[in-house]
Amino acid sequence: MTLDRRSLLATFGTGAVAAPAAATAGQGVQPTFLHGVASGDPHADSVVLWTRVTPGADGTRALPVRWRVLNGETVVASGTAEATPDRDYTVKVIAGGLRPGTEYRYDFQAGDVTSPVGRVRTLPVGATPDVVLAVASCQLHPGGLFNAWDDVSKLERLDAVVHLGDYIYEYGAAPADYGMAVGTALSRIPQPPHEIVSLEDYRLRHAQYKSDPDLQAAHARAAFICVWDDHEITNDAYISGAENHQGETEGDYTARKAIALRAYYEWMPIREPRAGLGLEHINRSFDFGDLASLMMVETRLLSRGEQLDYEKDLTVTPVNGVPTPDVAAFEAKRNDPSRDLLGAGQLDWLKSALAASRASGKTWQVLGNQVVMARVAGPDLAGSATPEQLERFLSALPAAYRTRVQAAIDLFKLGLPFNLDAWDGYPAGRERLYAACAEAGVQPLVLAGDSHAYWVNDLKDAAGARRGVEFGTSAISSPSVGDLFGPLPLGAMLAARNDEVVFCDQNAKGYILLTLTPERAEAKLQSVSTIRAKPYEARTLSTWVVTRGTDGITGPVRV
């Protein structure tokens, strides 16, 4: 039995603006910039600049595009590029020759039309007093308004945005599709209105997301440092397949994956993979002066084995006439040494990057990772709620989910993991990662997305040794498991059940504002009051601090 977030939450969601036109719409006389501008992957001397030109009357030829970077009113870099049909009229250039730690403005021009203006800051070198990052994930367009992105765009200080994946979702617009109860009510209808499979489909879906004004504003505010999770391809992706890929009707998975990645690199402000590597090699690192290194890892397409599933992989046999799960056999499968997310090659790269960061004297090593790393057993609902509360909770669930949730409750009594798609489904790989961190002499700050929940976790290895601190960000707009639980505080139940979980909120939506200084790392869990309407209110849900001393990190402590 699987507590599957997608199927449980298919009838939940949020938000409202009319769906944008398809990527090739808007065929006026002049070309236009309907999808805004973006920057990404900043280095100390260069940055990726991105836009898309919607063609004018002649939508079949290449279009010359001019770009420029300004410091104040002075143009410090400029050039020309072409928007071509074979890249869906997206333009991506690397603006070089820039100064470190400097904020610039940039824009594009096609014909007589000038794009919106973006802001971007290059990475610092040398002594760096602080770094401010917004950490975000999981933005289901029919799930709700992107109010959190509007809030990010208004931040007075922001060096970069770290996006941990699920930038787009692949689902269609059928009534039972993910988030469509709200998407229909709020006219946020996926484009195209079916599950995306072809290159044109993926391009149209990226175009729809980039048409959202709040997301455009966030991209124009600061550089994004991105990594995909699963929905940029399809749900619960792994190296050779995915839960939401049916080969008999949707073709070859390898071909679909290649199409999805092609569209991703076209539509995202990201550098191309290093020479000689395939598109899957999105792992890369960024140095913020002498203060911090950010390592972005890939946990879906390079080495991830197929996810375990309680319904398929947990055998139930009669014991004295009572159906009894064979937990020992299931745990043997889960702890198989071959189960992994990173793979040997990526782990070697990460270990070298961590060691180099430590050797150069940087205070913080930050791991940009997609899924929750901490050990999280499912909630003991039977032990945390009265029978009356539990009955009210179950009776309030949609009938289609009641049996599934009851089965999950019974399994979680046994101490089994809450989410097998997270690192809990790959414990041997997690131990190898922890060993690599220990060998490099670091206790990293781990960032996590995917879960649609806020987490503050104290990471420990199988022997109980402290290995790091994890900050998990909630969703921008995607439904949360906690939405199902009504008055039952799922986050508090998970924290009470698990030694590594210091704090968990399974309902609020938003992002994390992470500020690093030589003395401390401060994580503000920023939430928005609603994703169903405007205006909204933004607030800090809670603030957590980690300090680093000669003996390692201290905290997380709530302040």
pLDDT tens per residue, range 351-362: 999 999 999 999
Q: Which of 175, 186, 233, 240 is nearest to 205 (CA)?
A: 233
Q: Which two tokens stand for residue 158?
A: 């922001």
pLDDT tens per residue, range 234-283: 999 999 999 999 999 999 999 999 999 999 999 999 999 988 899 999 99
Over range 516-536, report the average pLDDT: 98
The answer to whether residues 121 and 98 touch, using CB atoms and an 8 Å cutoff, is no
Q: Which of 503, 282, 512, 312 is nearest to 425 (CA)?
A: 312
Output the CA torsion 527→530→532→536 (10° steps): -100
Using a pLDDT cut of 90, give the percent of the chain over it. 84
The answer to whether residues 293 and 307 touch, using CB atoms and an 8 Å cutoff, is no
- Name the more confident of 12 and 32: 32
pLDDT tens per residue, range 493-507: 999 999 999 999 999
In this predicted structure, the answer to whether residue 163 has a pLDDT above a threshold of 70 is: yes
Which of 90-99, 198-207, 314-323 is predicted with the least confidence, judged by mean pLDDT? 314-323
* Mean of pLDDT over the chain: 93
**Tokens 């210091």 correspond to what residue?**
502
In the sheet that 131-136 helps form, which strands lie side by side, from edge to edge?
A: 90-95, 47-52, 37-40, 224-226, 160-163, 131-136, 509-516, 520-528, 538-549, 552-558
The answer to whether residues 171 and 199 touch, using CB atoms and an 8 Å cutoff, is no
**Tokens 């004297």 correspond to what residue?**
361
In this predicted structure, the answer to whether residue 38 has a pLDDT above a threshold of 60 is: yes
**Tokens 């809030």 correspond to what residue?**
151
**What is the per-residue pLDDT for 323?**
87
**Tokens 């996006």 correspond to what residue?**
163
**What is the per-residue pLDDT for 46?**
98
pLDDT band for position 398 (cuts 50, 70, 90): confident
Over range 97-112, report the average pLDDT: 97
pLDDT band for position 23 (cuts 50, 70, 90): very low
Q: Which two tokens stand for residue 146?
A: 């992107």
- 554 has which bridge partners? 547
Over range 25-53, report the average pLDDT: 90
Q: Which two tokens stand for residue 421?
A: 């798609």
pLDDT band for position 387 (cuts 50, 70, 90): confident
pLDDT band for position 20 (cuts 50, 70, 90): very low
**Domains in the chain and their CATH numbers?**
5-305+340-380+415-558 (3.60.21.70)
Euclidean distance between CA atoms 398 and 487, whole angstroms: 16
Which of 218-222, 383-387, 479-483, 546-550 is predicted with the least confidence, judged by mean pLDDT? 383-387
Over range 301-323, report the average pLDDT: 93
Euclidean distance between CA atoms 345 and 51, whole angstroms: 33
pLDDT band for position 409 (cuts 50, 70, 90): confident
**What is the per-residue pLDDT for 469?**
98
pLDDT tens per residue, range 326-353: 999 999 999 999 999 999 999 999 999 9
pLDDT tens per residue, range 109-129: 999 999 999 999 999 999 999
Euclidean distance between CA atoms 418 and 421, whole angstroms: 9
In this predicted structure, the answer to whether residue 300 has a pLDDT above a threshold of 80 is: yes
In this predicted structure, the answer to whether residue 19 has a pLDDT above a threshold of 70 is: no
Over range 401-416, report the average pLDDT: 86
pLDDT band for position 321 (cuts 50, 70, 90): confident
Q: How far is CA 210 from CA 35, 90, 105, 236, in A?
A: 5, 12, 20, 23
In this predicted structure, the answer to whether residue 24 has a pLDDT above a threshold of 70 is: no
**What is the per-residue pLDDT for 1?**
33
**What is the per-residue pLDDT for 6?**
47
pLDDT tens per residue, range 547-558: 998 888 999 999
Decide: residue 60, CB within 10 A, 0-12 exposed, 13-18 middle, 19+ buried: exposed
In this predicted structure, the answer to whether residue 159 has a pLDDT above a threshold of 90 is: yes
pLDDT band for position 392 (cuts 50, 70, 90): confident
